[in-house]
Amino acid sequence: MRRRALAAFAAGLTAAALTSCGTGGGSDVLTVYAAASLRAPFTEIAERFEEANPGVSVEFSFAGSSDLETQLEQGAPADVFASADTRTMDAAVAAGLVAGEPIPFATNMLTIVTEPGNPKNVTSFDDLTGDGLSVVVCAPQVPCGAATERLEETGGVELAPVSEESSVTDVLGKVTSGQADAGLVYVTDARGAGEKVTVVPVPEAAEIVNIYPVAPLSNSRNPGRADAFVRFVTGTGGRAVLADAGFGAP
């Protein structure tokens, strides 16, 4: 099951940027493919981009990074790609999809979320192997799933999840809807869920940090604007939004 959400936000560039891109105004569309865990901060970044630079619409597609990379390899038109790990971005680079060098812009790591109040009394990563506990994780091919596998190796723990999801937001959804007792998600997703979950820290996860890279794409219809968006994400304003959402610095 792949969950793909599409949201459009008005955005644009400064007059100087428009001049450097060789356009004289009007409305343009910039398509950004971004990891599901980036939904909240990238939404705000787009809004700030709009306020500063009227004239260009930014269309976001949020999903698991590996799903997005596969869509790009199959020819999906997009201008910018932001993934939740370097492995997926490396695959995009190897496929000739990326223009220039990807730029790391954020970090994230895993934590445990349970139903509010933690009724099953999960206190550690080891507890996720307990009898009668339904646990959900990300599928191995997506960044949060790859991080889960590394966490299992580091902790010497083998999980038996009841399902493996294609994005971290799907894992979170299974817990918040009561379909699972616990799940492994990014600390940013746990923070965004607020009182819908109880968070159980995983100290071992500090050794397994996902680095998020972003890059313009080689088939971009608006390469100048794609570069401008990447600069915005990796600049002071973008990083402030990401920090507020709980992401670490690269």
The answer to whether 124 is a known ligand-binding residue is no
Give me the phi and psi of 175, to 5 degrees please.
Answer: -75, -45
The answer to whether 33 is a known ligand-binding residue is no
How far is it, in rounded angstroms, from Cα 104 to Cα 101?
10
How far is it, in rounded angstroms, from Cα 193 to Cα 80?
27
Q: Are 49 and 12 in contact (CB under 8 A)?
A: yes
Characterise 88 by phi-psi region: left (phi > 0), alpha (psi -120 to 50), beta (else): alpha
How far is it, in rounded angstroms, from Cα 204 to Cα 207?
6
The answer to whether 37 is a known ligand-binding residue is yes
Q: Are 149 and 85 in contact (CB under 8 A)?
A: no
Please state the residue numbers annotated as binding site for molybdate: 37, 65, 168, 186
Please state the residue numbers annotated as binding site: 37, 65, 168, 186
